[in-house]
Amino acid sequence: MNNKENMENTTKAVIGKIISVIILIILLYEAFKQPENDYQVHNMTTFAMDTIIDFSLCFNGDENIFIDVEKEIRRYENMFSTTIEESEVSNINKNSGTEYTNLSDETFEMLEYALSMSYDTKGAFSVTIAPLVDLWGIGKSTENKVPSNEEILNARERINYENLVLDYSKKSALLLEDNMSIDLGGVAKGFIADEITELLRDNNINNGWFSLGGNISVMGNKEDGSNWKIAVRNPLDENDYIGILEVSDKFIVTSGGYQRFFTSDGKDYHHIIDQETGFPAENGLISVTIISKSGIKADILSTALFVMGFDKAVEYWKNDGEIEIIFITDTGNVIATKGASEYFDFENKDNDFIYEVIS
Beta strand 267-270 with 215-219 is unpaired
Of 17 and 145, which CB lies nearer to ligand AMP in the complex structure? 145
Residue 72, classed as helix, strand or coil, is helix
Least distance CB 83 / ligand AMP (angstroms):
11
**Alpha-carbon gap, residue 307 to 296, rounded angstroms:** 17
Residue 272 in the binding site for ligand AMP (CB under 6 A): yes
Nearest residue (beta carbon) to ligand AMP? 185
Q: Does 273 bind ligand AMP (CB under 6 A)?
A: yes
Nearer to ligand AMP, 274 or 324 (CB): 274
Q: d(Cα 60, Cα 315) in Å, to the nearest integer? A: 45
297 binds ligand AMP (CB under 6 A): no
Q: Supply the DSSP string of 184-201, one letter for each residue.
A: -TTTHHHHHHHHHHHHHH
Contact between 290 and ligand AMP by CB under 6 A: the answer reads: no
Each residue 116-145 as x (binds ligand AMP by CB under 6 A) or -, in order, gives ---------xx--x---x------------
- Which region, judged by CB under 6 A, interacts with ligand AMP, from 57-65, 93-101, 268-276, 289-297? 268-276
Q: Which of 111, 174, 183, 328 binds ligand AMP (CB under 6 A)?
A: 183
- Nearer residue to ligand AMP within complex by CB, 205 or 313: 313
Cα separation of 239 and 91, whole Å?
Answer: 41
Pick the closest to residue 57 from 189, 233, 201, 194 (CA basis).
Answer: 201
Angstrom distance (rounded) from CA 326 to CA 306: 11
108 versus 125: smaller Cβ distance to ligand AMP? 125
* Residues paired with residue 19 on neighbouring β-strands, in sequence order: none
172-187 core/surface letters (b: 16 or more CB in 10 A; e: else): bbbbeeeebbbbbbbb
Q: How many CB atoms lie within 10 A of CB 332?
A: 12
Q: Which of ligand AMP, Mg ion, none interacts with 125 (beta carbon under 5 to 8 A by kind)?
A: ligand AMP
For ligand AMP, which is the closer residue by CB, 20 or 141? Answer: 141
Which of Mg ion, ligand AMP, none does 183 bind, CB closer than 5 to 8 A by kind? ligand AMP
Among 186, 208, 257, 309, binds ligand AMP (CB under 6 A): 186
CA nearest 126: which of 184, 63, 40?
Answer: 184
State yes or no: residue 65 binds ligand AMP (CB under 6 A).
no
Using rule CB under 6 A, residue 255 touches ligand AMP:
yes
CB atoms within 10 A of CB 30: 8
Closer residue to ligand AMP in complex, CB, 195/299: 299
Q: Which does 133 bind (CB under 5 to 8 A by kind): Mg ion, ligand AMP, none?
A: ligand AMP
DSSP for residue 335: E
Dist CA 124 CA 301 (whole Å): 9
State the Cα–Cα distance between residues 141 and 130, nearest whole angstrom.
15
**Residues forming the site for Mg ion (CB under 5 A):** 186, 299, 302-303
- Counted residue by residue, the chain has a size of 359
Q: Which one, 183 or 299, has the nearer CB to Mg ion? A: 299
From 142-150, 227-235, 267-275, 315-323, span contacting ligand AMP (CB under 6 A): 267-275
Taking the C-alpha atoms of residue 178 and residue 94, their distance in angstroms, rounded to an integer, is: 9
Cβ at position 35, least distance to ligand AMP in Å: 40
Give CA–CA dist 50/203, Å, rounded: 27
* 302: contact with ligand AMP by CB under 6 A: yes
Contact residues for ligand AMP, defined by CB under 6 A:
125-126, 129, 133, 183, 185-186, 255, 271-273, 275, 299, 302-303, 307
